[in-house]
Structure 1
Amino acid sequence: MPANYQPRLVDGLLARRLIHHPAVLLVGPRATGKTTTAAQLARSELRLDDRAQAVAVEADADAALRGLAEPVLIDEWQIVPDVLGAVKRSVDADSRPGRFLITGSVRGDVDSPMWPGTGRLLRVAMFGLTVGELRGRLPRLPLLDRLAADGIEPLMTGPAEQLDLRDYAELAAGGGFPQPVLRLPSAERGPWLESYLEQLLTQDVAMLATHRDPQLLRRYLESCALNTAGVTDHRSIYSTAGVAKATGEAYDRLLRNLLIIDTLPAWWTNHIKRLVRGPKRYLVDPSLVLAALRVGVPGLMKDGDLLGRIIDTFVVAQLRAQLPTCETQPRLYHLRQEKGQHEVDVIVEYGGGRVFAFEIKANSAPSRADARHLAWLRAELGDRFIGGAVLHTGPRAFPLGDNIIAAPISALWS
């Protein structure tokens, strides 16, 4: 790898997938480093954001692929979607592993019952840089796998760095997009993020929608940003944005397909009554929330509600990025009972219905009262409850009950 390459969580996974499969699809939000990461494994490249190369592929995709050194990196497939048909035909004719590595910034199965990747493309998700990646701390086993095996023990050791609330706010504001966080001074990150949103709302949406109003879409995105990390009825979001129901639903699909909005589904079990079914919505990177709302760290520190949402969004971004690399195949959910009697910010569900649970607090000294929902869940689930943690902005870890711990957020990457 080049000396200036920033190692990523998915590096080893991508290499393993190419050893055994003919084609791998690396998908994630634009500008999260997919092309740079995929290029480390490729022997030749087709960059479809290069108009000359795109024209050649549009003219004859099969011929454009023929004779290229493998693995072939096909970058931004969605610009010339027909290239996937050519990959399908090539793989059907020759299913040797390690032939194609394809990247894209939209969901591969967008409204398509005839998605050509089924059975041919193995999907790998990639998101922005985590703090662990930024710090060069890539553990042999992801934290979520270690929690499945050892309960709260991986969170009990002291963090490698001691941070306070403002430190976490600044990490969240810096975000995970490689260009601004690695290469730009902090004063230039805001203009980069604003430009990113402008391109997203005016150029990228054109790949998926022919009729859109950038100003209305921006208002809808701002409404989503205000409600990030919230279990908010969708009507409240599109009403706040001043758009009609049908328009709001269309914008929701659009931003999901562009991988800018993600959700934690509601966790469900027959053992617990009156659980809310609605999802928690998130912007995938906390820096986009602040850019959409035009709020910097000083303003964030004066807004307790937004600060709590940003810390929640930041933590979920750290956890989400681990999922593709976990052997235990965990899934992330949230839990909330009707009328808010009990709620848990993040439920990590493993096979067999086993659960590790997180509460996320923007304070430095959580008490047993902050763990009451975790204690309730422990009693409800019995031996299916692996453990629980109250993640906080203070400097140390300490017990809050049987199989429940208070741990600094930095324990996620220590």
Structure 2
Amino acid sequence: MNVNYLPRTVDALLDRYLAGLAAVALQGAKGVGKTATAKQRADHTIDLSRPAAAEAFRAAQDPLAEVSGTTLIDEWQREPSSWDHVKRAVDDGAPAGSFIIAGSSAPRGATVHTGAGRILTLRMRPQSLYERGMHAGGDTVSLRAMLGGDADVRGHTASDLVDYVEEILAGGFPGIRRVPEELRQEQLDSYLDATVSQEFAEQGTSVRRPATLRAWMTAYAAATATTATYTAILDAATPGLPDKPARSTTLVYRDVLSRAFLLDPLPSWTPSSNHLKRLTQTEKHFLADPALAARLLGATKDSLLAGEGSGPAVPRAGTLLGSLFEHLVAQSVLTYAQASRARVGHLRTQDTRHEVDLVVERDGHIVAFEVKLAATVTDADVKHLRWLREQIGDDLRDAAVIHTGPTAYRRTDGIAVIPAALLAP
């Protein structure tokens, strides 16, 4: 066990699953910390990124026959047969907590979510603001308590707009966060270059035009926190080019990046227990981390604070910084919601008159969030939350505006105002 390990929100959920299930697959983009988290619980590790270990695994008739305790199979996608070996071991009666499978690609044809089956899959995201320690040990506002309808909304933070911009650019990949600030851009460039040059090859997909793939990723980054169509993203990636890649090619880009957990789109929210209708069904675009989007777009602290750096011409309301701040908050809310086994979506009516940035639902209990790049909150900022409360009544257990200001409090209309740094699992 590593005494320097920084706790992650996913820890408690992983421990719960290992207590009752034989195998759990911990999956997520490269660099999010899967191996470190898994090793905290593993008695043995089979690292398939090491050629000798992979060769020995392939050569063995039953490579898992002699394992005991909790075995971590790391980088399983380097030897895809490892997935089937674990399945067979589970079928043969392996006890709870026998296997953790860690990898940065989803198995083809598998649905990546926590659910029934021989191997339960659990997604790990980059560090949330809470995991980064932005709350500085002070009062926080719990999403779990909000879902229960009994959140204590209070607290103060010294974090301001500049701090949030720095967090956007630093990202949530632990290894990149550890390097000196002046080297992070090079680290992010290397990460993105490896995505283009290696990720597709590892998944057996040939990229004929690497420059076009990079341009498509940049256009996707420009579409952060929007519902732009994939046609609009393609047009933004290849302006003025008569010989555009086929739509099927760009769908391959999307599918491979999704399997590598480098895209993290937010689905539209579909109510489970009320009569809200005429909602759009379009997902909202997010990469795995806002730092990747910022780097693809060449954004810097100065350019973001100056309102510059829009990137390719993808339709977007507001500034790039506003979109990246929403991404930062969404990434954290997705992590906190996972800890409460809740689902997250966004809401927009078909006539676009009403929209809510983030809707969290568990067992019919709903919490709604508006994300505002502002240090103060006005009545205009809560109008969509009020509208949603009118529509669904007591199903809405809580609602809040997430902002860049210093203080958490509850308005006289009951809507909470919470600094992003103080929202917690």
The alignment's TM-score, normalised by the length of structure 2, stands at: 0.89
Secondary structure of the 1:386 match is strand
My pick for the range that moved more, 362-371 or 6-15, is: 6-15
CA-CA distance at 1:102 after TM superposition: 0.6
In structure 1, what is the Cα distance between the partners aligned to 2:328 and 2:421?
A: 11
CA-CA distance at 1:118 after TM superposition: 6.6
Secondary structure of the 1:387 match is strand
* Superposed counterparts of 1:15-414, under 5 Å: 15-60=15-60, 62-108=61-107, 110-111=108-109, 119-135=117-133, 143-151=142-150, 153-154=151-152, 156-159=153-156, 161-181=157-177, 183-212=178-207, 213-242=209-238, 243-269=245-271, 271-303=275-307, 305-326=319-340, 329-352=341-364, 354-413=365-424
Deviation digits for residues 47-72 of structure 1, max 9, x if unmatched? 11111111222233x53222134211
My pick for the range that moved more, 14-23 or 251-260, is: 14-23
CA-CA distance at 1:280 after TM superposition: 0.5
Secondary structure of the 1:131 match is coil
Deviation digits for residues 349-403 of structure 1, max 9, x if unmatched? 2213x32110001111120111001111111111112121111111123444533
Contact 2:17–2:24 (CA under 8 A) maintained in structure 1 = yes
Deviation digits for residues 112-155 of structure 1, max 9, x if unmatched? 69xxx97211222211112222229799x99322111135x33x
In structure 1, what is the Cα distance between the partners aligned to 2:93 and 2:248?
A: 45
The alignment's TM-score, normalised by the length of structure 1, stands at: 0.91
Label 1:208 to 1:250 Cα distance change in 2 as closer, same or farther (>3 A): same
Contact 1:264–1:279 (CA under 8 A) maintained in structure 2 = yes
CA-CA distance at 1:252 after TM superposition: 1.2
Contact 2:143–2:423 (CA under 8 A) maintained in structure 1 = no
Contact 2:43–2:69 (CA under 8 A) maintained in structure 1 = yes
Label 1:371 to 1:195 Cα distance change in 2 as closer, same or farther (>3 A): same
Secondary structure of the 1:36 match is helix
When the two structures are aligned, how many residues end up with a matched partner? 401
Structure 2: 5+ residue stretches without partners: 239-244, 308-317
In structure 2, what is the Cα distance between the partners aligned to 1:10 and 1:404?
A: 28
In structure 1, what is the Cα distance between the partners aligned to 2:110 and 2:34?
A: 23
Secondary structure of the 1:371 match is helix
My pick for the range that moved more, 77-86 or 117-126, is: 117-126
CA-CA distance at 1:169 after TM superposition: 0.8
In structure 1, what is the Cα distance between the partners aligned to 2:408 and 2:45?
A: 47
Label 1:169 to 1:27 Cα distance change in 2 as closer, same or farther (>3 A): same
Q: Which runs of 4+ in 1 moved over 6 A?
A: 136-139
Secondary structure of the 1:282 match is coil
Contact 2:375–2:404 (CA under 8 A) maintained in structure 1 = yes
RMSD of aligned residue pairs (Cα, Å): 2.2
Deviation digits for residues 184-214 of structure 1, max 9, x if unmatched? 1111111111101111111122122422132
In structure 2, what is the Cα distance between the partners aligned to 1:268 and 1:401?
A: 29
In structure 1, what is the Cα distance between the partners aligned to 2:88 and 2:67?
A: 15
In structure 1, what is the Cα distance between the partners aligned to 2:18 and 2:278?
A: 45
Give the AA of the match of 2:386: A
CA-CA distance at 1:314 after TM superposition: 0.1
Secondary structure of the 2:407 match is coil
Label 1:112 to 1:9 Cα distance change in 2 as closer, same or farther (>3 A): closer
CA-CA distance at 1:293 after TM superposition: 1.4
Label 1:13 to 1:118 Cα distance change in 2 as closer, same or farther (>3 A): closer
Deviation digits for residues 255-300 of structure 1, max 9, x if unmatched? 1111011121112346334321111110121111111112111111
Contact 1:308–1:362 (CA under 8 A) maintained in structure 2 = yes
In structure 2, what is the Cα distance between the partners aligned to 1:401 and 1:247?
A: 52
Identity of aligned residues (%): 35
In structure 1, what is the Cα distance between the partners aligned to 2:347 and 2:230?
A: 18
Structure 1: 5+ residue stretches without partners: none
Contact 1:346–1:358 (CA under 8 A) maintained in structure 2 = yes
CA-CA distance at 1:218 after TM superposition: 0.8
Q: Which has the higher helix share?
A: 1
Label 1:40 to 1:142 Cα distance change in 2 as closer, same or farther (>3 A): farther
Contact 2:141–2:422 (CA under 8 A) maintained in structure 1 = no
Contact 2:28–2:104 (CA under 8 A) maintained in structure 1 = yes
In structure 2, what is the Cα distance between the partners aligned to 1:201 and 1:142?
A: 39
CA-CA distance at 1:15 after TM superposition: 2.3
Matched with 2:315 is none
CA-CA distance at 1:310 after TM superposition: 0.5
Contact 2:342–2:362 (CA under 8 A) maintained in structure 1 = yes
Label 1:136 to 1:122 Cα distance change in 2 as closer, same or farther (>3 A): farther
